[in-house]
A and B are shown apart, each in its own frame.
Chain A
């Protein structure tokens, strides 16, 4: 179709400069016109970016150096908020410990289950789409209050899990009201939602050419060797993507902890996720400046994690070009 726009081959030599000049002018007006048009298309996003994202991000950086209660004007406090967070805030320390434990337990477990199930599903089975749908469903329901309500009952002292255990003659603890176990119920909830990384793993597994496995089998490579030498290396870009996305999501987890602990992060701060603590400071005590400082620290923690992932990726992520 683009060949239509080229000057016909029989065009006289004299006509060529004119055509070129016309073409250039046309291109120029087109470029100017379309860049104006482009900004019309971009306008909603651009306005949103400036008013709702970039502007607020900068303003929250400013607020993090102030005391602000929504009623009085923000009062400059210098580094006070950050100093208090660093030296004199046990709840901050609890929330960081809880969140890191949650991230470091739930993300690797979730990815391992997701990869294992994806490999089981990748054997050219019948009924693949049914299994895939069933395994994906919990991911879709995950952030709703209903699922948190369900979890609260599952792990209650007289809940479903303990009733099942009783069938085996085991008397389970009251998982949710026990500070030693409460966080693990949330880890299990997160792992239960392995569906979306599983689907991405499945798509990745499909991209691995079958003849590599044929060749490995010819050479007598065992199943586990095939996994460590072929599947996993070929899958590292997908592992990387899933790890980054799931880690960021895990840092932001909120609803399940809020509902299960009744908004307190208890018992004894054992489920005080960072986001829950931030919410308490901002909308419980209206310490907006302090909460803004907490938000910026969260941003830094997530950025460090992401930067670390990208830097380390050089050593373990293989892109076959």
Chain B
């Protein structure tokens, strides 16, 4: 009985006609193209002469010119180079802060026992759902009183205090999967909890640390709201704020420069995506599959 069933089970998928899988591919390819079309069009628009942007739906410019890039780059009082440096500094510091602080907390939650553990853990999970608007105004008042407004500190310091609970959650999930025997053996050998964290858990957790680092970078890079509130001087602007100012300063008149800078602002995201696609996708997949 089971043999028959198994045989048929093997038979069934092969019966699917080839034209159906070709049809699926055509469908998916067309859909992929439709989804990427706006981005590709923006890339092509950034390479066109300004007058040619409107009225054209084609992806291939009649003549390629790179002029919009320097025009956009120097289109504001402060160059986009400065914005890129600012964004990079904030993003890199955020990555360091998030990975360090979240992995410390995750190690405590996943591998150590201590009084009130479940209580704190529940609160930590609760902060995942808390909209940041609730803490926004007092945080602003706090940073204002500390004299931190118009510096990058309000954007960076909270990361060193593990305020992105999502990463703690991700790391706890991963740390729990590491065999307990490893800690016990290390403890037998007289390792302190810190050595276990540093020498046993962290080296085995590189995939999840990398995932957290990459997401942390991307989210900080794309963040608009934080810089909008805390950064006032154009010298301190991030790329996202620079783009916004570019719209305000030039209005509809310099679309090609705006597109050129938009494309450049996406370059780091694209690069990370190309190199670390697998980690990003696995990271997303595991969050939904407890």
Q: Which residue of A is nearest B168, CB measured?
A: A45
Within 8 A of B (CB), among A111-130: 117, 120-121, 123-125, 127, 129
In the complex, chain B residues whose CB is within 8 Å of the CB of A134: 32, 35-36
In the complex, chain A residues whose CB is within 8 Å of the CB of B19: none
A52 with B158, Cβ < 8 A, contacts A42-B108, A124-B13 known: yes
CB 8 Å contact bits of B1-35 with A (1 = contact, 0 = none): 00001001100110000000100110110011001
In the complex, chain B residues whose CB is within 8 Å of the CB of A133: 273, 277, 281
A13-21, A222-230, A293-301: which lies at the interface: A293-301
Whole-angstrom distance between the alpha carbons of A2 and B138 in the complex? 50
Q: Let me know if A313 is at the binding interface, CB within 8 A.
A: no
A158 and B27 form a contact (CB under 8 A):
no
Whole-angstrom distance between the alpha carbons of A145 and B225 in the complex? 10
A218 and B5 form a contact (CB under 8 A):
yes
Q: Let me know if B144 is at the binding interface, CB within 8 A.
A: yes
B88-96, B186-194, B204-212: which lies at the interface: B186-194
A182 to chain B, nearest CB (A): 17
In the complex, chain B residues whose CB is within 8 Å of the CB of A47: 161
CB 8 Å contact bits of A153-189 with B (1 = contact, 0 = none): 1100011100110010000000000000000000000
Whole-angstrom distance between the alpha carbons of A199 and B100 in the complex? 28
Q: Let me know if B178 is at the binding interface, CB within 8 A.
A: no
In the complex, chain A residues whose CB is within 8 Å of the CB of B28: 120-121, 125, 131
- Chain A contact residue count (CB 8 A cutoff): 107
Whole-angstrom distance between the alpha carbons of A151 and B255 in the complex? 13
Q: Which residue of A is nearest B117, CB measured?
A: A38
Within 8 A of B (CB), among A201-249: 202-204, 207, 210-211, 214, 217-218, 238, 241-242, 245, 248
Q: Let me know if B202 is at the binding interface, CB within 8 A.
A: no
Whole-angstrom distance between the alpha carbons of A127 and B26 in the complex? 12
A56 and B285 form a contact (CB under 8 A):
no
A120 with B27, Cβ < 8 A, contacts A48-B163, A158-B55, A302-B131 known: yes
A48 and B288 form a contact (CB under 8 A):
no
In the complex, chain A residues whose CB is within 8 Å of the CB of B5: 214, 218
Whole-angstrom distance between the alpha carbons of A2 and B181 in the complex? 7
Contact for A60 among B38, B134, B225, B281, CB less than 8 A:
B134
A200 and B224 form a contact (CB under 8 A):
no
Q: Let me know if B124 is at the binding interface, CB within 8 A.
A: yes
Contact for B161 among A30, A45, A60, A127, CB less than 8 A:
A45
Q: Is the interface of A mostly helix, strand, loop or mixed?
A: helix
Within 8 A of A (CB), among B103-152: 104-105, 107-109, 112-115, 117, 120, 123-124, 127, 129-142, 144
In the complex, chain B residues whose CB is within 8 Å of the CB of A141: 39, 222, 266, 269
A70 and B131 form a contact (CB under 8 A):
no
Q: Let me know if B162 is at the binding interface, CB within 8 A.
A: yes
A125 with B104, Cβ < 8 A, contacts A144-B266, A200-B287, A242-B288 known: no
A207 and B35 form a contact (CB under 8 A):
no
Q: Which residue of A is nearest B265, CB measured?
A: A146
B255 to chain A, nearest CB (A): 7
Q: Of A120, A132, A199, which is in contact with the most chain B CB atoms at under 10 Å from its CB?
A: A199
Instruction: List residues of A whose CB falls within 8 A of some B CB.
Output: 1-2, 4-5, 30-31, 34-35, 37-49, 51-57, 59-60, 63, 70, 117, 120-121, 123-125, 127, 129, 131-138, 140-141, 143-146, 149-151, 153-154, 158-160, 163-164, 167, 192, 196-197, 199-200, 202-204, 207, 210-211, 214, 217-218, 238, 241-242, 245, 248, 251-252, 254-255, 258-259, 262, 275, 278-279, 282-283, 288, 291-292, 294-296, 298-299, 302-303, 306
5 closest residue pairs by CB, A with B: A48-B161, A200-B288, A56-B138, A146-B262, A38-B114
29 A-B contact pairs sorted by A residue (CB < 8 Å): A1-B181, A34-B193, A37-B192, A38-B113, A38-B114, A45-B161, A45-B168, A48-B101, A51-B142, A53-B127, A53-B163, A59-B141, A63-B137, A120-B24, A120-B28, A136-B277, A141-B222, A143-B223, A145-B244, A146-B262, A150-B39, A164-B57, A199-B285, A238-B289, A242-B288, A252-B132, A259-B224, A275-B133, A292-B138
